[in-house]
Amino acid sequence: MTESEKEHPNRVALSIFILEKEMEGFQVGKAEDKMGWRASDTRSLVFENVKVPKENLLGQEGRGFEQTLVGLDHGRISIAALSLGIAETAYEAALQYSSERRQFGEPINRFQAIRFMLANMATEIECGRHLVYEAARLKDQGKPFRKEASMAKLYNSELAMRVTTKAVQIFGGYGYIKDYPVERYMRDAKVCEIGEGTSEIQRIVIANEIIKNSE
Ligand SMILES: Cc1cc2nc3c(=O)[nH]c(=O)nc-3n(C[C@H](O)[C@H](O)[C@H](O)COP(=O)(O)OP(=O)(O)OC[C@H]3O[C@@H](n4cnc5c(N)ncnc54)[C@H](O)[C@@H]3O)c2cc1C
């Protein structure tokens, strides 16, 4: 029994195939109306009795589950980096705005409540960056990186939500209005906690890895 079979005893044997757009029975579904990521088209793919030649098999027959998990490990570093980018952009916008917006005769970045939000954002972004770089470093060196990729994805996607929500707060009423970019950052951040495995799934992966390595 392989490591993956031990970890996922209920898994079914899957195989991955390459399909061509022209194949009979294949259809692209309607564009989904999404909360965020509106510049990226998201559609379901419909397969009805599509006949696929056996030469289109990708990888080994029956090993598609493992291949998919490995693909997800790689993708999670990308989502972590993407989340970090959203967090950094929202933080920079909030930092700039807090020096321009004046209330009670001074820039709002003189108020401790705002300064503490900025301090937390900057500190957590630094933590997130280290997690992304560490996962990428291990991957580049050909070392195992499943746990680190999940940690980077989990932390940075939740970081993106925290930072973008605080950025909206620092912008006050303007934060909620589409003339300013921060409400979009908040909407774009949310899907990072869902796609490529939800935060709940990342916690399962991390727990599996740490418990497996402690036994
Ligand atoms: C904009 C967008 C783009 C996408 N692009 C792609 C793509 O390119 N390719 C692709 O394959 N998919 C894509 N997806 C799908 C995405 O990967 C899934 O939506 C995501 O993995 C969650 O799966 P689900 O929607 O089936 O949620 P569900 O599995 O139904 O989960 C619902 C809730 O239950 C929780 N849950 C589920 N199982 C467990 C468990 N065992 N323990 C604890 N909690 C659990 C989840 O965390 C979640 O909170 C995309 C989705 C979106 C929104």
Give the pLDDT confidence of 45-87 residue by residue, as tens digits.
Answer: 999 999 999 999 999 999 999 999 999 999 999 999 999 999 9
Check if 194 has its Cβ closer than 6 Å to any atom of ligand 1: yes
Q: Which domains does the chain have, with CATH numbers?
A: 3-58 (2.40.110.10), 64-214 (1.20.140.10)
**pLDDT of the residue at 5:** 63
pLDDT of 7 > 80? The answer is no
> How many whole angstroms from 201 Cα to the centroid of ligand 1?
9
Please report the atom of ligand 1 found closest to the CA of residue 197: 21
Q: Report d(CA 48, CA 50) in Å as an integer.
A: 5
Q: Report d(CA 154, CA 194) in Å as an integer.
A: 10
Check if 195 has its Cβ closer than 6 Å to any atom of ligand 1: yes
**pLDDT of the residue at 11:** 72
Q: Which residues of 3-12 are buried (b: 16+ CB within 10 A; e: fewer)?
A: eeeeeeeeee
Residue 154 burial by Cβ neighbours in a 10 Å radius (0-12, 13-18, 19+): buried
The kind and range of the H/E element at 45 are strand 43-47
Q: What is the pLDDT of residues 134-161, one digit of tens each?
A: 999 999 999 999 999 999 999 999 999 9
pLDDT of 174 > 70? The answer is yes
Residue 139 burial by Cβ neighbours in a 10 Å radius (0-12, 13-18, 19+): middle
Check if 75 has its Cβ closer than 6 Å to any atom of ligand 1: no
Amino acid identity, position 200: E
**pLDDT of the residue at 2:** 62
